[in-house]
Structure 1
């Protein structure tokens, strides 16, 4: 069981509808040139919500939440922050993300009256992707300020994370087996889904795909 003091930044802990909405938001941010935003929290248990609510009230510190009934515990909400060179909660950047969220039917805490919460985004259980939008490829969502949002689109020769867009080639079977074992172990540890292993076995994984995959695994281990 995760400690109430530990922050969950894994979007796989969100409901599928929220995972899709979150990926779409980060994809559209990338396309708009907003690449220095990252996830700071996804799922939050009721126990952690109570713990955070106590801060600034019965526990030392500044108030960080105004409610005991957050959509974080319903697995429908996520918080973000802004990486360098901007401030952590740069209003201009969060407002740009909020404007994108509105177009996607994603609720933004910056639009709330009273308790404004600009880093907060959420969807309802019946959220549907707006017409004209789709997940265009592999969206890499950072969980800390060390990385930037990435989008790998199949067939796109200008992949932002891949310098080498060719299919992976190996000089010997030992190296190939070692790479497959690395991917297989990551699948078994639930750091990535099995589609990555299938892509490797089908021989369609590129060097760019693999570099992006390593970033994902690293973030989920250290996030």
Structure 2
């Protein structure tokens, strides 16, 4: 991936597998306790971008935003988050709750650092393993902007799709509600047309079409 030093990378796919899994697990566990308004603000950061940020407030105008030239973001094992409405962007109460969850998962949280507290920052080592008793329970939707919400789409094991292009059957009211909210947000954000939500609610949505919509939404939100 080649980007300008002024451009923030929010793509989860730019992290190493351990970083991707740890981040998704963190967002999943946050979702399960009702923290759904957090989103990614940066994943991978090149050394060139780190130098650019380090210069801010020193040799370049602006406030100091980093204290190091050796950020763990360049290792592809670190990510930053922020908080969406109605809280402020770096709401300490929310970040503290996320940090407490991260510690249970063996994820390093910048809020515990003594010299330079960095509450939005999370990272793991390349040797990180998912703690015993935890697993990814479904598709975890990790937003990359304040308009999105964390989602956990769990497949109903009782529902088996035997042929392609069959009408989508969520299998449970909870999955139906979460999926409708997800599609409704995409409509509100102008990513897809409102007709898709109407078809979903009326039962006219097919499994193949829903999968295609999800891929489209994720691609648009990762840009």
Instruction: Find out whether 1:162 has 2:179 as its counterpart.
Output: yes
Instruction: Note the 1:122-201 alignment, pairs <5 A.
Output: 122-155=123-156, 157=172, 158-159=174-175, 160-163=177-180
In structure 2, the residue matched to 1:215 is 217
Deviation at 1:154, TM superposition (A): 0.3
Q: CA contact under 8 A between 1:46 and 1:73: conserved in structure 2?
A: yes
Q: CA contact under 8 A between 1:162 and 1:207: conserved in structure 2?
A: no
Deviation at 1:220, TM superposition (A): 1.7
Q: CA contact under 8 A between 1:161 and 1:212: conserved in structure 2?
A: no
Instruction: Note the 1:109-120 alignment, pairs <5 A.
Output: 109-120=110-121
In structure 2, the residue matched to 1:17 is 18
Cα separation, 1, equivalents of 2:29 and 2:208? 24
Deviation at 1:162, TM superposition (A): 1.7
- List per-residue Cα deviations over 1:148-197 (Å, max 9, x = no partner): 00110000621253249xxxxxxxxxxxxxxxxxxxxxxxxxxxxxxxxx
> In structure 1, the residue corresponding to 2:73 is in which secondary structure?
coil
Deviation at 1:217, TM superposition (A): 2.1
Instruction: Note the 1:51-90 alignment, pairs <5 A.
Output: 51-90=52-91
Deviation at 1:211, TM superposition (A): 4.7
In structure 1, the residue matched to 2:48 is 47
Deviation at 1:208, TM superposition (A): 5.5
Q: 1:136 to 1:207 in 2, by over 3 A?
A: farther
- List per-residue Cα deviations over 1:76-112 (Å, max 9, x = no partner): 1000000000000000000000000000000000000
Deviation at 1:212, TM superposition (A): 3.7
Q: CA contact under 8 A between 1:162 and 1:209: conserved in structure 2?
A: no
In structure 2, the residue matched to 1:205 is 207
Cα separation, 2, equivalents of 1:149 and 1:67? 30
Deviation at 1:70, TM superposition (A): 0.8
- List per-residue Cα deviations over 1:182-223 (Å, max 9, x = no partner): xxxxxxxxxxxxxxxxxxxxxx936665554343122023xx
TM-score by length of 2: 0.78
Deviation beyond 4 Å, 4+ runs, structure 1: 206-211
Cα separation, 2, equivalents of 1:3 and 1:69? 19
- List per-residue Cα deviations over 1:48-82 (Å, max 9, x = no partner): 00000011111111111111111100001000000
> In structure 2, the residue corresponding to 1:151 is in which secondary structure?
strand
Uncovered stretches (5+) of structure 1, i.e. residues with no partner: 165-203
Uncovered stretches (5+) of structure 2, i.e. residues with no partner: 157-170, 182-205
